[in-house]
Amino acid sequence: MKRNTKINLLLLFLVAALAVLPLALGLGDHKKEPFTGADAEAETAITELKPDYEPWFSPLYEPPSGEIESALFALQAALGAGVLAYYFGLRRGRRQGEQRALEREADGALPGAAGKSAAERD
């Protein structure tokens, strides 16, 4: 097995462990909503420390339920992943294209290869 394959499998195992261990160990069982986001945790902490606190801003759009909010967040994450995948794919394709162009130029500079097509050289 290649070294990169071993590293990728190890990283995949670690990600799976990070996702499963909190559930398996029962972390958060003492809370009403055990795995809320950081925003909800911060809001709870602020209201406990200073009950008369009023936020400076209000959201532009308040989803009607938590499920819709989660779906919108997942959609945002998917769009971001798509943009990043497109960018990295484009970079790789350009790099491969440049490399192929350099190889073609090097093949064309070989003695005896002038005037021959790619099929004739192979």
Q: Is 55 left (phi over 0), alpha (psi -120 to 50) or beta?
A: beta
The H or E element containing residue 76 is helix 66-108
pLDDT in tens, 14-34: 999 998 888 788 776 776 766
User: CA-CA distance, 103 to 122, in Å (whole number)?
Assistant: 14
pLDDT in tens, 61-106: 888 888 898 899 999 999 999 999 999 999 999 999 999 999 999 8
Q: What is the pTM of this model?
A: 0.50
Contact 40, 33 (CB under 8 A): yes
At residue 26, the pLDDT reads 77
| Three-class DSSP category at 26 | coil
User: CA-CA distance, 43 to 111, in Å (whole number)?
Assistant: 74
| Three-class DSSP category at 111 | coil
- Token look-up 């532009």 returns 60
Residue 106: Cβ-neighbour burial (10 angstroms; 0-12, 13-18, 19+)? exposed
| Three-class DSSP category at 57 | coil
